[in-house]
């Protein structure tokens, strides 16, 4: 049985599902217009279809449009997008010397991202035996899997070791500053920083890997991966019913997040507003990533009471201690018979919540990297990702409270950290960072 | 919205789908009888159900029986089982000093594996606030996800540094010997060996992680993880149609595998036969794992012609060079007009095939572990897993041919290696390795 859905073959006849269009025409339409032009329900399945006869072939074209998220738009995808199952983060360092080279990289990356997020290969294949294939190929035959790619730029793009590398120093937004040292940090250089941060999310890990790998390949000569980390959560398919996913400590994670469908909240919490400047960041957002190692061996030895007091929530239901429902309002004033707060003041939820006025949008994943050779313990934990409008007013004060007093600090250690200004979305025909570069 | 599918709550009423049975009764039935007793279609969903009212609750009980593979049986699962999407391998070293402690560990592991493969927690929760939870909790609310756990023992269980550690030296099967050094090996101690090897596969990465982590927790004081590696392939869900998955070089991987549904072939290739001995290995199999790093940066610079000549197959279709169909018989005698073999004699497929008489069952996954700090290159590749009846006659001669001449060696490097004797299956009431210990 040969698979019939390979994109390098020229379609002979797409009449089973669609009007006759050459593959090149289809690619062009998709490349220019994004998913909107992809002929509805059949989606980009047609791009993979060979039109070969038989029942198997019509199955191959049935790529659900629901698996494709539009690339172009006001905002970048991957921020208020409902969380996909898999994650791959890469921090890049720029090795190019000229601003025009950085601009050219973002042009190429935008083009590639616009294609692969729609389930297409990164570029047209030449099929020239004497050239390397244009696309690395591991995503051939796979659906777009809700792939999103979110690009951000770090403080070192603007100034590095005191030097204005690309003549961009004056364009650095004030909120894009190195994070302050937090009291509980044990940061390791190999998990920190980067001139560019790329967050890839998808419902398939091979599709996510394919994106990072091809972006790295396209960057050759301009930028190199500084560090990277793959992540996961429980797959949607494995969840017996929808609901908040659990982290590797066994607790629900993300309950207190603002609603991504609430535009007002997103404008308040996530999106840089026109009044704030700089103009190139309007409709962008600041992304903070923290690689948080869990001391799970120690956690697993702690009592249920300790664990629940540490989070301030019930382990099974996820409800605030003293409550019954995961999503009930946090009442930090509730006391037990002896007058002690039901939710300990140094619990994770109490400190993260603070006065409840400052919020962030969390979008974290679990990670596992085998055994740490130095300690013999599992190198596993939470790859924390959050988006906010101004880290100085949101993430930083929240993390300062946590770093100082959080009971959870006994069981976690922050080993990686970076901050990036995520660009606003691009319009078809334009590219990400166009106003910056 | 509170989730209602948490297993710690006592079911009040399961009448929506099933006769009234207490959770404890159900657990007992499942624990003793395996999936067969799980009341058909509704499967162990009932174990998660609280019987709470409302539409949401009836969704939660609909855990498909198809997501559960029986644990007890003649053979261990995870060998001829069709490959799941995710993989987590761990090699353990035994720190216990007495054979009875090792036996006790396998008894506890068998019990835990029999439960979690059926979608249950590792043990009954006490809900005692002053004890650690029995199960680490990250799989609460998740389906069994076709979880399989496959246990094997390594040569060092029998003899280590010349010592007969547990009085088992005389029981070592001759095929369970350290692998010879292969000419292209660049093995690193941190990815090699182990007294016990555990292969976990599932259609969800969190379910797979949960298994390894809880086995490690149960082993505390008896064994520690020596090394571990998570792996993946493209998810079934993302494949536009069924077919052979591609590795991270973009080529289909596993085409030439024998058919796992062909009992005669499996007896020939995989299962240790009663005539071979030792008796404790009858219906077992030998598992070889090799952590094979891909030099993907170099691969990505090689031409399509090089890539296809390296594998001996067409990149898109997976067909042998000169052929058209992925599954057509390999014809190594086919020549081009100039008399040169169409499939190069030093191609991967030609050397792996050899005279076609010796086969192995491959069951490999891709892996990615971020950036190698030493080289700055992606630490990614293939976690090769194979099963065979006698490595001395199957894997070893095949790998010797490949190590010496395979064109692919330019693009890969074997950094990890281990061999294990995978035990036969256990019967309900028994435990894995019962005849050995």
Complete DSSP assignment for A128-155: -TTS--SS--TTTTB--TT-EEEEEE-H
Report pLDDT for B302: 97
ipTM score: 0.87
pLDDT band at A373 (very low <50, low <70, confident <90, very high): confident
**What's the mean pLDDT in B397-404?**
96
The tens digit of pLDDT for each residue in A48-60 reads: 322 222 222 222 3
Report pLDDT for A63: 57
- Token output for B8: 């710690």
Q: How far apart are CA A138 and CA A129, in angstroms?
A: 18
| A228 vs B3, B326, B370: nearest CB | B370
Q: With CA atoms as reference, report the closest residue to B322 among B294, B350, B297, B296.
A: B350
Alpha-helix runs per DSSP H in A14-154: 23-33, 45-48, 55-60, 99-116
**What's the mean pLDDT in A107-111?**
98
* Angle ∠(A283,A287,A288) on CA atoms, nearest 5: 160
H or E, element range at B293: strand B285-294
Q: How far apart are CA A301 and CA B218, in angstroms?
A: 11
Report pLDDT for A99: 97
Residue B250 DSSP class: S
Per 3-state DSSP, what percentage of chain B is helix, strand, and coil (rounded to 5)? 25, 20, 55
Report pLDDT for B240: 83
The tens digit of pLDDT for each residue in B13-38 reads: 333 333 333 333 333 333 333 333 33
Report pLDDT for B241: 83
Q: With CA atoms as reference, report the closest residue to B1 among A242, A220, A54, A407.
A: A242
- Token output for B367: 């892996």
Check pLDDT > 50 for residue A217: yes
- Spans of all domains in chain B: 4-57, 65-422
Question: Are A317 and B133 inside 8 Å of each other by CB?
Answer: no
Check pLDDT > 70 for residue A172: yes
User: Cα distance from B127 to chain A (closest Cα, Å)?
Assistant: 8
Q: How far apart are CA B54 and CA A319, in angstroms?
A: 20
Q: How far apart are CA B118 and CA A341, in angstroms?
A: 40
What is the Rg, in whole angstroms, of the alpha carbon atoms belonging to chain A?
Answer: 23
Q: Which residues of B touch A239 (CB under 8 A)?
A: 141-143
> A241 near B60, Cβ under 8 Å?
yes
Q: Which residue of B has its CA nearest to A372?
A: B227
Check pLDDT > 80 for residue B64: no
Give, rounded to a whole angstrom, the gap between the first and last alpha carbons of chain A.
50
The tens digit of pLDDT for each residue in B347-367 reads: 999 999 999 999 999 999 999
Report pLDDT for A65: 85
A281: CB partners within 8 A, 6+ apart: A173, A272, A421, A423, A424
Q: Which residues pair with B252 in a beta bridge?
A: B246
Residue B425 DSSP class: P
Task: Check CB contact of A315 with chain B, cutoff 8 Å.
Answer: yes
Q: Which residues of A touch B232 (CB under 8 A)?
A: 205-206
Q: Which residues of B touch A301 (CB under 8 A)?
A: 132
pLDDT band at B63 (very low <50, low <70, confident <90, very high): low
Check pLDDT > 80 for residue A45: no
Check pLDDT > 70 for residue A190: yes
Cα dist. B275→A189, B272, B422, B434 in Å? 57, 8, 17, 20
Question: A–B: how many Cβ contacts below 8 A?
Answer: 280
Check pLDDT > 70 for residue B343: yes
**What's the mean pLDDT in B55-74?**
66
pLDDT band at B8 (very low <50, low <70, confident <90, very high): very low
Q: How far apart are CA B139 and CA A250, in angstroms?
A: 8
User: Cα distance from A223 to chain B (closest Cα, Å)?
Assistant: 12
Per-residue exposure over B87-122, b if at least 16 CB sit within 10 Å of its own CB, e if not: bbbbbbbbebeeeebbbebbbbbbebbbbbbbbbbb
Q: With CA atoms as reference, report the closest residue to B18 among B55, B58, B67.
A: B58
Report pLDDT for B373: 79
| A138 vs B203, B246, B316: nearest CB | B246
User: From the centroid of its chain, how far is CA A387?
Assistant: 10
**What's the mean pLDDT in A245-263?**
95
Report pLDDT for A317: 94
Report pLDDT for B286: 98
**What's the mean pLDDT in A119-143?**
93
Residue numbers of A between 37 and 56 with CB closer than 8 Å to B: 45, 48, 56
Q: Does residue B46 or residue A336 have the better pLDDT?
A: A336
Residue numbers of B between 128 and 157 with CB closer than 8 Å to A: 128-133, 135-143, 145
Task: Check CB contact of A112 with chain B, cutoff 8 Å.
Answer: no
Other C-beta atoms closer than 10 Å to the C-beta of A24 total 10
H or E, element range at B290: strand B285-294
Q: How far apart are CA A427 and CA B31, in angstroms?
A: 57
**What is the phi/psi pair of residue A60, to 5°?**
-60, -30
**What is the phi/psi pair of residue B46, to 5°?**
-60, -25
Q: Taking all residues of chain B, what is their mean pLDDT, rounded to a whole number?
A: 87
Helix or strand or coil: residue A211? helix
Q: How far apart are CA A328 and CA A317, in angstroms?
A: 11
Check pLDDT > 80 for residue A248: yes
Cα dist. B22→A269, A364, B36, B185 in Å? 46, 37, 18, 56
Task: Check CB contact of B303 with chain A, cutoff 8 Å.
Answer: yes
Report pLDDT for B324: 94
pLDDT band at B399 (very low <50, low <70, confident <90, very high): very high
Other C-beta atoms closer than 10 Å to the C-beta of A66 total 11
Q: With CA atoms as reference, report the closest residue to A433 among A287, A281, A278, A289.
A: A281
A375: CB partners within 8 A, 6+ apart: none
pLDDT band at A40 (very low <50, low <70, confident <90, very high): very low
Q: Which residues of B touch A325 (CB under 8 A)?
A: 1-2
User: Cα distance from B136 to chain A (closest Cα, Å)?
Assistant: 6
pLDDT band at A392 (very low <50, low <70, confident <90, very high): very high
Question: Are B326 and A59 inside 8 Å of each other by CB?
Answer: no
- Token output for A93: 């360092």
The tens digit of pLDDT for each residue in B105-142 reads: 999 999 999 999 999 999 988 889 999 999 999 999 99
Q: How far apart are CA A274 and CA A26, in angstroms?
A: 36
**Residue labelled with tokens 């919490």:** A269
Residue numbers of B between 325 and 384 with CB closer than 8 Å to A: 325-327, 366, 368-371, 373, 376, 378, 380
H or E, element range at A269: helix A263-269
> A176 near A166, Cβ under 8 Å?
no
User: Cα distance from A244 to chain B (closest Cα, Å)?
Assistant: 8
pTM listed for this prediction: 0.87
Other C-beta atoms closer than 10 Å to the C-beta of A264 total 9
> A96 near A109, Cβ under 8 Å?
no
Question: Are A324 and B224 inside 8 Å of each other by CB?
Answer: no
Question: Are A1 and B327 inside 8 Å of each other by CB?
Answer: yes
């Amino acid at each position: 049985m040969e698979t019939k859905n390979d994109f390098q073959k020229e379609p002979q006849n797409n009449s089973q599902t669609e009007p006759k269009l050459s593959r090149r025409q289809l690619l062009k339409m998709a490349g220019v217009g994004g998913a909107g032009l992809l002929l509805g329900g059949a989606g980009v399945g047609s791009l993979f279809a060979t039109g070969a006869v038989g029942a198997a072939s019509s199955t191959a074209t049935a790529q659900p449009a629901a698996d494709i998220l539009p690339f172009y738009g006001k905002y970048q995808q991957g921020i208020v997008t409902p969380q996909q199952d898999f994650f791959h983060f890469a921090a890049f360092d720029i090795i190019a010397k000229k601003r025009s080279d950085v601009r050219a990289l973002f042009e190429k990356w935008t083009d590639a991202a616009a294609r692969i997020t729609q389930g297409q290969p990164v570029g047209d294949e030449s099929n020239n035996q004497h050239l390397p294939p244009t696309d690395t190929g591991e995503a051939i035959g796979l659906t777009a899997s809700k792939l999103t790619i979110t690009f951000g730029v770090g403080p070192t793009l603007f100034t590095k070791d005191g030097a204005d590398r690309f003549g961009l120093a004056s364009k650095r937004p004030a909120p894009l500053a190195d994070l302050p040292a937090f009291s509980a940090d044990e940061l390791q250089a190999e998990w920190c920083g980067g001139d560019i941060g790329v967050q890839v999310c998808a419902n398939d890990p091979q599709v996510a890997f394919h994106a990072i790998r091809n972006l790295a390949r396209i960057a050759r000569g301009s930028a190199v991966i500084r560090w990277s980390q793959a992540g996961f959560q429980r797959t949607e398919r494995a969840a017996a019913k929808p609901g908040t996913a659990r982290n590797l400590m066994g607790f629900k994670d993300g309950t207190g997040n603002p609603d991504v469908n609430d535009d007002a909240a997103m404008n308040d919490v996530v999106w840089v507003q026109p009044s704030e400047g700089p103009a190139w960041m309007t409709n962008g957002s600041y992304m903070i990533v923290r690689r948080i190692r869990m001391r799970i061996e120690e956690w697993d030895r702690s009592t249920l009471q300790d664990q629940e007091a540490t989070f301030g929530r019930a382990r099974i239901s996820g409800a605030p201690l003293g409550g019954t429902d995961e999503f009930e309002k946090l009442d930090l004033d509730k006391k037990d018979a002896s007058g002690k707060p039901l939710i300990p003041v140094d619990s994770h939820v109490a400190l993260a919540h603070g006065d409840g006025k400052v919020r962030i949008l969390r979008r974290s994943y679990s990670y596992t990297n085998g055994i740490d050779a130095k300690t013999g313990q599992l190198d596993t934990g939470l790859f924390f990702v959050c988006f906010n409008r101004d880290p100085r007013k949101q993430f930083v004060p929240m993390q300062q409270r946590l770093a100082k007093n959080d009971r959870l600090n006994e069981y976690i250690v922050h080993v990686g950290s970076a901050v990036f200004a995520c660009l606003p979305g691009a319009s078809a025909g334009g590219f990400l960072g166009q106003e910056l570069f």
